[in-house]
Structure formats: structure tokens, C-alpha cells
Amino acid sequence: MADIEIVIEFSHFAEWGNKILRDVDNHCNTTAHRVLARCQLMMNNSPRSGRTYKRGNVIYRASAPGQPPAVDTSALVNSGRVEKEMPSLYDVIFGADYAPDLEWGTPHMAARPFLRPAVEAERQKFVADLRRIVERH
């Protein structure tokens, strides 16, 4: 009896792989920018129910512990940026020296988180959209 050989060849894996990687990278980029925008919005719209103090002729009301930091000089808000580390890996960075102190708190000041709540607010949409991208391919 003669042997029968069946060969199935699919040569589009590289093309398919590149497309899904590109779509995932775009999704990660979009999400990082959404997190940045959410952080900035939260700071600009902070409820400001903390301590009141006067600087020169200006009266300023700070945020309370647990609230996003209230905008004073806009230095923190304006220091935000997104940087691409590698495909599908983006960092949301706030370059103001005091950003970590506000996010995590210090021994003398309770945290005024802004980045972690923004990430949490975007998490479910990110995962759901990522699933759709994978299922689409």
C-alpha cells in the first residue's frame, strides 16, 4: 500500500502575529493616555475639602487625605506624560518631585492618590477591550 501524506501549510502566522501585536500596542498606548487624562481631570476637579491657608493675597484650600491633590500651581498636572518603554509597555509618569509623596503619602502627610485610582478606573475597560482584540484575530 502507498503511504498517504497530507501537508497543511499556513504561512500567515507572521502577518497575523504582527497585526495583533500592533493592535495590542495601540490599545496600550490609548489606555495609558486615558489614565493620564483621568489623573489630570481628577486633580483639576478635586473636591478641595482639606485645610485652608493663605499664600500672599491668595486663599487656597487643599485636598483632604484620600482625595486627589487639589491644583495649586498646575506643576503636578503639567508634569504628566506617557512614555513608551517597548511595544505594549507604556509608563504614565508625573515628573514633579513631590508626585510620589502625594500618591503614597509620607510620615507627615496622608496620601492624596491620583494615579492608582485612575489605573483602577480604566482596568476593566482595558481588559475587556484586550479580550475583544484577541478574539477578533
Cell numbers representing residue 136 in the block: 477578533
Q: Is the pLDDT of residue 86 over 70?
A: yes
Q: What is the mean predicted confidence (pLDDT) over 39-53?
A: 92
pTM of the model: 0.84
Phi, psi of 51 (to 5 degrees): -65, 145
Mean pLDDT of 46-68: 90
Return the pLDDT at 127.
Answer: 93
Range with the poorest average pLDDT among 6-10, 40-44, 54-58, 97-101: 6-10
Distance, in Å, from the CA atom of 38 to the CA atom of 36, rounded to the nearest integer, reads 5
